[in-house]
Amino acid sequence: MLLMVCFIAECIIPGEEISKSIERETYGNGDKLVTAVAEIGYKGKAVKKNVELNISPAELSYDEKLERLAECKKDLPNIILSGNTSLEHITQDMDLITFHEATGVSVMWDTGSPELINKDGEVFPGEEKDNGYVLLTALLSIEGEETEFKCNVKHALKLSEDNYEKLADRRMAELGDILNENLIDTEVDLPESLGSDVKVTWRERKEHKGSIIILLMVISLILVKSLEAGRDKKKTEQRKEEILLEFPGFLDKLTMLLSAGLILREAVERITEDYKENIRPSGKRIFYEELCTSVDMMNNSNSSFSDELTSLAQRLQIREFARLAVILKDSLNSGMDLAEKLENESIMMRYERKNHIQKLGKTADSKLIFPLMIILSVLIVIVMTPAVMQI
């Protein structure tokens, strides 16, 4: 609705007439965009046209160009100083600008001593004999008008222990062009100095690919051994965890059978028979497999139940069953009632199992340390390899 009202208003209410002349933008401000409605009439009929007028900025007059060139020349001595205190004492890089924003003048530099001050304004250290005046020449231009700016500056950056590396970097960058100036010569002489005080000693860079390969092999071997040790440790812990999970159920079954009137050996045999018939088909359980092995050894070799309990405790290697084995052997020797003791042992086992599970939950984060160490080792190798190869 609002759009319709605006459209009707635009059609009915005429806009304000603009003047027949439009003032251009001043130099450097860009084009002016003017939106207008042109009403064109012919023999009593009229038609309206929306028109966008793109008005270019005004050009400078000859005198204005000269004024801007003169203003730029006046500002340059202070601009190019940069961090230096005076044009008579140049020790830091100069600011040789390529465009003067205040006037719109373009600047192109040349220098009489590029080994001391180049056209980008970089100042290089020189020997005692090199310290002197350097002529800087700039070509200033704006819209076809040009003028020249010249300035003598005093180079005062002496060669020292603190800055000779900057000179070395420059000479090394130029070395490729110097060595290939004369391609007719069959031999190339490497420079022995970068001046009277800066000496150069050349050595062939040796590749250390063999050492790097050996280093990577050693690190890989260590990582493989660490992984194998970690897997073995994890397998042992998983075996112990599985036995501890089965152990409370075994105690409950043993307590129930003993309370029903069975003797200890018969109760254990009944538990193993039930395991073989009902549980083993769905998957083997470590604790019960070891228990079946002990029962089979006892039946086949006529060994004592007490000896088999000791052997089973040694194979399982868990503290909880070792304690139970002692209780069972005492019962065999003394003939005391086991039901109550086994019930208490079962309660204690469940309590310890609960505490163990809580402990595992708290230490879960610590298990991430080893994988993180492996990742860190690999990253160190990746980062160090390019650096070693550059030696």
Return the HEC string of 301-342. HCCCHHHHHHHHHHHHCCHHHHHHHHHHHHHHHHCCCCHHHH
Same domain, 331 and 276: yes
**192 part of a folded domain:** no
**87 part of a folded domain:** yes
Same domain, 366 and 236: yes
According to DSSP, the residues that pair with 47 across neighbouring strands are 40
pLDDT tens sequence for the chain (391 residues) = 433 434 444 444 455 555 567 777 777 667 778 888 888 888 778 888 888 888 877 778 888 889 999 999 999 999 999 889 899 999 889 999 999 988 889 999 999 888 888 889 988 887 666 678 899 999 999 988 999 999 999 988 887 777 777 777 776 666 666 666 655 656 666 666 666 566 667 676 665 666 777 878 888 888 888 888 888 888 888 888 888 778 778 878 887 887 787 887 888 888 888 888 888 888 888 888 888 888 888 888 777 777 777 888 788 887 777 777 777 777 766 666 666 677 777 777 777 767 766 776 666 666 677 778 888 888 888 888 777 666 5
Same domain, 71 and 50: no
Same domain, 52 and 67: no
Q: How far is CA 374 from the centre of its chain?
A: 17
Same domain, 25 and 95: no
Helix axes 209-259, 319-334, angle to 10 degrees: 30
Same domain, 104 and 230: no
Same domain, 69 and 39: no
- Answer for the pair 49, 40: CB distance below 8 angstroms, yes or no: yes
**104 part of a folded domain:** yes
Q: Is 140 left (phi over 0), alpha (psi -120 to 50) or beta?
A: beta
- Answer for the pair 134, 117: CB distance below 8 angstroms, yes or no: yes
DSSP-derived 3-state class of residue 280: helix
Same domain, 242 and 338: yes
Same domain, 228 and 337: yes
- H helices of the chain, in order, are 2-12, 62-81, 164-179, 209-259, 264-274, 286-301, 305-316, 319-334, 339-362, 369-389
Domain-terminating residue out of 106, 140, 164: 164
Same domain, 136 and 218: no
Range of the domain at 28: 21-59
Question: What is the total count of domains within the chain?
Answer: 3
